[in-house]
Chains A and B, each alone.
Chain A
């Protein structure tokens, strides 16, 4: 039967943070790791394990499946710091401003060659007023609520990367765009 873990509440759960714990779950699962957080909505336990090869693995145990949580030890300063900062900050860009500028210009030219309306807004590129491209202007840096535009722009940028992977400043030969006027007319406003 379900134990009282989901009923403990935030003030109890937060006491387990930064402690090394063993969590028994389901019928016979046992998980060990540093407790990063407990979701107050689902009582799910997030455990972090720092592997010897330098990698970090995360296990999330659903609140409804938790049978028992046992504290093994408290984290020392170094581990606590590592827990706090190692992987939950957003991906930071490691290129210098000049390289970023060149890459932004290169992506912008490529989009313009493919008849995609694009404007520079500070460090970002704005496409057709519905999509934003942030540094470093790769396919995964595109943000939009319009799935069609997102898909097309991501593919275009992917083509750009594939044709000249190491030269962000080079502008390739013009290729027929995926966004030709007849298709664009069918898109949602």
Chain B
């Protein structure tokens, strides 16, 4: 196995303490919605709201089980600028904004542990 490279840090942002993950940065606020609103129709009709919540929980549960089945598996991330990297999936945060991975294979070496911003990812794929 390739020797891991030393930890890489992104350059500091203009507000001097963020490395791309600061929840108060304008980029984060613009791109990373962390609350979901119910649809306009559901706000008026409680039956509709119930249906929407039911659909929401079914969809979310399936998605969470999918994430669970991904743990410790090799995953290929397709990112912007035609970047394709492979890593072992660790976990996602609750808003699916960051992915924790191990053994990230990059063109400049293997990162032992890394956080990948979901905003940088187009798609990812794995075998069950």
Contact = CB atoms under 8 A, between A and B. Distances in A.
A36 interface: yes
A41 B93 CA distance: 11
- Summarize A's interface: helix, strand, loop or mixed: mixed
Contacts of B66: 36-37, 46, 58, 60, 88
A55 to B, nearest CB: 6
Interface residues on B, range: 35 or more
Q: Looking at chain A, what size class is its interface with the partner chain?
A: 20 to 34
Given A46-B62, A46-B66, A11 B39 contact: yes
Interface string B61-95: 01101101110100000101000000000000011
B21 interface: no
Contacts of A65: 121-123
Interface in B89-128: 94-97, 118-119, 121-128
B41 to A, nearest CB: 9
Contacts of B94: 41
Contact of B55 (A11, A36, A60): A11
Given A42-B96, A46-B63, A59-B124, A26 B80 contact: yes
B36 A41 contact: yes
A25 B38 CA distance: 25
Contact of A39 (B63, B72, B78): B63
- Please indicate which of the listed interface residues A40, A55, A64, A140 has the most CB atoms of chain B within 10 Å of its own CB: A40
Given A39-B60, A41-B36, A46-B62, A11 B128 contact: no
Interface of A: 9-11, 13-14, 17, 25-26, 29, 31, 36-42, 44, 46, 55-62, 64-65, 86-88, 90, 140
